[in-house]
Amino acid sequence: MNPATALATVLVDELARCGLTDVVLAPGSRSTPLALAVHADSRIRLHVRVDERSASFLALGLARRSERPVALICTSGTAAANFHPAVIEAHESGVPLLVLTADRPPELRDTGSSQTIDQIKLYGAAVRWFSEVGVPEDRPGQVAYWRSLACRAFQRSLGPYDPGPVHLNVPFREPLIPDGDTSWCEPMEGDAAGPWVRARVASPPVALHLQPTRRGVLVVGDGATNVRRYVAAAGMAGWPVLSEPNGGARYGDHAMSAYHFLLGTPEFADRHRPEVVVTLGRPSLSRPLLNWLKHADEHVVVARDMTRWPDPTRSATQVAQEVEIPIPAGDDDWLHSWRRADTAARGAIDEVMDGAGLNEPRLARDLVDTLPNGSLLFSGSSMPIRDLDQAMRPRRGLRILANRGAAGIDGVVSTAMGAALSHNGPAYALMGDLTFLHDQNGLILGPREPRPDLCLVVVNNDGGGIFSLLPQAALRDPFERIFGTAHGVDLGYVAASTGTPYTFVNEPGQLSKALRGEGLRIVEVRTDRESNADLHAMMRDAAHGAIRALV
């Protein structure tokens, strides 16, 4: 057996023994040994994508939803560079990825050899661990090295407290395909009972015990863990819960769905300063919430990784891996005050949305209300996630995900596909037109590839709608060209180019029917950027007026 085939066979076998179930491959020549080894392993579900960036975000979506490492393979050269945005997102949001980049051997580097770049620590600090595997050699000791290396990479990616991407750079010399000889200088078999190295997770951390208080608040952002336990504890303590849609805690009687407007009303925010705030994950969507956090007497951040805790406002007073929220004595006036204001604000903004025909916040609200229990909703990171945050009513039975680690718009179609392929149930995605066009290659699926049950809902306002809500909108002369960026693309033709079923919606009552179906499909909803900006201002004014009437 030639060394390239031996290394690839052992590495893939050991990763499968560790628990690897999905591999995404972007085809190329130098990665041939890895591709053949994965293709031959029945324990692994293989996904092939012709575009490396699309492949990397597909792997990100698979790993994000499954919460298990997914391997990502490419050939040498700029193919590996195209993985970088997804690696950054995985790093920032704590998603376990195993990035296996094939490489030329050392003697071909710095010689002008084709498809050869410097791949050593290519992703810098955006990975949890990097290893240059080394060119495989036909000598004793290699099998133990490869198997232990695979176990270390898998476990380091998994965490458990700080999951994220791991990069193995794998140089191969030719020949790259099997030579018909199956002999090797030492036994290649692994441990019959499982992985070569069995990692043991440390005992649970000691929890921080808080002082009992009714004037507490639970804030939940992206990447939160143990959410249900903390929501239950907050409920027993009489605390309101302020959860971003992708935080997973916007359900039940304690969820304040209009918190963005409550905390944007100074009269309410000033009178509702908490004694303690407990934050799970990383909140990042609401500027009023972030400003309000700065004024909490005690701000406790719960973080799995004690070296990388989220604190964008620099207001954390304590950081702990676990927190115990005690049940305080006293009445529920604190919670009742939040509920009254939340109900008033919610009624005011619903009335504005319902009176404005088909609009972007209403689409986000109605989409959430319409989806069946057990659904997955993947959101774009620009306006759609903010519309969900401001318009979504509390509900159970829906999992919402978004790429909010680096909060970029790239790779959303592919990430949604990966998440849908890992989800046991129907999946949907909500995104803007620029986000959709940025990753339209994600629609390219070969006839033998696993196909997701995924409906892509695309809000088309012909450009970058979020800029119409920012100060840049006041720059009337340059705005449309350098921020608005109208594109004029007919999304129906984009769908047709890949044979993807397409539906156009222009009335609110058409949404429910348009969402029906199976497999990959697209629903387009057209809106107007300027009208959307005016509507958001009306929602804000109506909510603030309703809140001020109470305080």
Quickly tell me which residue has 């006293």 as its tokens: 330
Given a contact cutoff of 8 angstroms between Cβ atoms, the answer to whether 101 and 28 are in contact is no
pLDDT given for residue 307 in this prediction: 83
Quickly tell me which residue has 């031996």 as its tokens: 6
Q: Is the pLDDT of residue 215 over 80?
A: yes
Tell me the mean pLDDT in the region 325-329. 93
pTM of the entire predicted model = 0.95
pLDDT given for residue 469 in this prediction: 87
- The CATH number of the domain covering residues in 3-171: 3.40.50.970
Tell me the mean pLDDT in the region 196-212. 84
Query: What's the sign of the alpha-carbon dihedral 432, 435, 441, 443?
Result: negative
Q: Give the domain ranges of the chain.
A: 3-171, 208-337, 360-526
Instruction: Give φ, ψ of 419 to 5 degrees.
Output: -60, -40
Distance CA(504)–CA(511), nearest Å, equals: 9
The reply to whether domains 3-171 and 208-337 share a CATH topology is yes
CA-atom Rg of the chain in angstroms? 25
Q: Which amino acid is located at 96 in the chain?
A: P
Which CATH homologous superfamily contains domain 208-337? TPP-binding domain (3.40.50.1220)
Q: Taking the mean position of all CA atoms in its chain, how far away is CA 227?
A: 16
Distance CA(391)–CA(112), nearest Å, equals: 55
Given a contact cutoff of 8 angstroms between Cβ atoms, the answer to whether 239 and 254 are in contact is yes
Does residue 33 have a cis bond before it (omega within 30 degrees)? no
Given a contact cutoff of 8 angstroms between Cβ atoms, the answer to whether 90 and 159 are in contact is no
For the record, the structure tokens of 113 come out as: 């050899």
% of residues, the chain, pLDDT over 90: 90
Tell me the mean pLDDT in the region 509-537. 96
| CATH 3.40.50.970 is the classification of domain 360-526 | yes
For the record, the structure tokens of 20 come out as: 């690897």
Q: Is the pLDDT of residue 232 over 90?
A: yes
For the record, the structure tokens of 327 come out as: 């049940």
Q: Is the pLDDT of residue 49 over 80?
A: yes
DSSP code for 308: S
The tally of CA atoms less than 13 A away on the side-chain side of residue 151 is 16
Confidence of residue 202 (pLDDT cuts 50, 70, 90): low
pLDDT given for residue 176 in this prediction: 96
Query: What's the sign of the alpha-carbon dihedral 314, 318, 319, 323?
Result: negative
Q: Is the pLDDT of residue 296 over 70?
A: yes
Confidence of residue 193 (pLDDT cuts 50, 70, 90): confident
